[in-house]
Copies of this chain bind each other. A is one copy, B any other.
Amino acid sequence: MIRYELPPSRSVDHTDIETVLGPDGRADPHLDPKLDSALVVKIYEAMLRTRVLDDRMLALQRQGRVSFHVGCKGEEAAIIASAAALRTEDWIFPCYRELGALLWRGFPLQRYVDNMYGNADDVVQGRQMPDHVTGKQWAYASVSSPIGTQIMHAVGFGWAAKLKRQKLATAVYFGDGATSTPDFHTGLNFAGVYKTPTIFLCRNNRWAISVPSDKQTASASFAAKGAAYGVRSVRVDGNDALATYRAVREAVERSHEGPTLLELVTYRLGGHSTSDDPKAYRLQEEVDLQSKGDPLTRLRRHLELLGAWNELQERRFVSQLDSEIKQCVEIAEKKPAPELRSMFDGVYAERPWHLDEQYELTKRGPRPGKE
């Protein structure tokens, strides 16, 4: 097991971390999950795709064309390799950074871009902020903003499946900051007591907006918290796609025995969201240092060693993706806003009298001008 050295300044590490990919791009032969190289390429492409998308959404936000974006730059391995290790029947309960996991499962890009614009074709009908999607068909729950709340849902869903003797696991993503919430505590505790088939994926990206992870807890690590609930836990190099895949796969395979908590140690290379300027609270040197551990670079080095990826492929992939994005954006921007009635529908399965009244009154107008 190769130790991947994290910079000591912000480190909460006092426990080992599971790493497969060495700095030279070689996989530790003892830990290598020995994936088909086509699969690894697919994972790499998905990571790259997310990276490019983040960049383009950021640009659109800066141009004032979308109002907000929350990306996952630096956390692509933690998100995509974990999703890749799940089975189709396993459910994902996302935080807000796991779009890559949803796209991995086949969510169409146009559908995503429509959500960014909150237009009439947005799956959530423009009701939520950008990047707050849902994908039931892809076994992907609804993104919401409150930190941690999805953890209990993943536990309850997996618990229900277990009661119904259905074999599936639920994977729930959350950040290091989320470990301080009530739902983390309750989720791990219920999962431990009822041995639910839940995989807790703690993306320790070292920051909760401006709060560094060593101010979030005095625990030796986030993985160490599992013991408080009798929950098996592993600390994994979350910038290492192979290590992440391997650990999640194992958790999936053991999910019928009960839950696993995985701390995926990674780093948020970008701002918290487009609303955030991290220069106000962290040093560029830290970011530069962490950029050296960029999960894309590490996996690409590995693929290049295997002869499975090269610069030409990379460029071709990006340019094709770019035209795809461009097209989706053009389409999305032409679509109208959701209809007024969409605001009053769906609060309940059937619209009750008071919402009928409110709808009728609002429809009668006057309606607001463009601000």
Contact = CB atoms under 8 A, between A and B. Distances in A.
If over half of A's interface residues share one DSSP class (helix, strand or loop), that class is named, otherwise mixed; here it is helix
A217 to B, nearest CB: 6
A100 interface: no
Given A184-B185, A220-B227, 8 more contacts: A180-B186, A189-B218, A193-B217, A217-B230, A218-B229, A224-B228, A227-B227, A227-B228
A87 interface: no
Nearest to A179: B189
A192 interface: yes
A232 to B, nearest CB: 10
Interface residues of A, number: 22
A189 B224 CA distance: 13
A219 interface: yes
A216 B190 CA distance: 8
A273 to B, nearest CB: 24
A193 B224 CA distance: 15
Copies of the polypeptide in the assembly: 2
Interface string A287-316: 000000000000000000000000000000
A231 B217 CA distance: 10
A192 B180 contact: no
A182 interface: yes
A148 to B, nearest CB: 10
Q: Which of A186, A217, A218, A231 has the most CB of B within 10 A?
A: A218
Contacts of A180: 185-186, 189
Interface in A147-198: 180, 182, 184-186, 189, 192-193, 195
Question: Top 7 closest A-B pairs, CB basis?
Answer: A218-B230, A182-B182, A192-B218, A185-B185, A228-B228, A225-B228, A219-B230
A227 B224 contact: yes
A3 interface: no
Nearest to A230: B218
A193 B218 contact: yes
A215 interface: yes
Contacts of A231: 218
Contact of A185 (B182, B215, B220, B230): B182
A182 B152 CA distance: 13
Q: Which of A193, A215, A216, A219 has the most CB of B within 10 A?
A: A219
A193 B216 CA distance: 7
A186 B216 CA distance: 11
A204 to B, nearest CB: 15
Interface string A220-239: 10001101111100000000
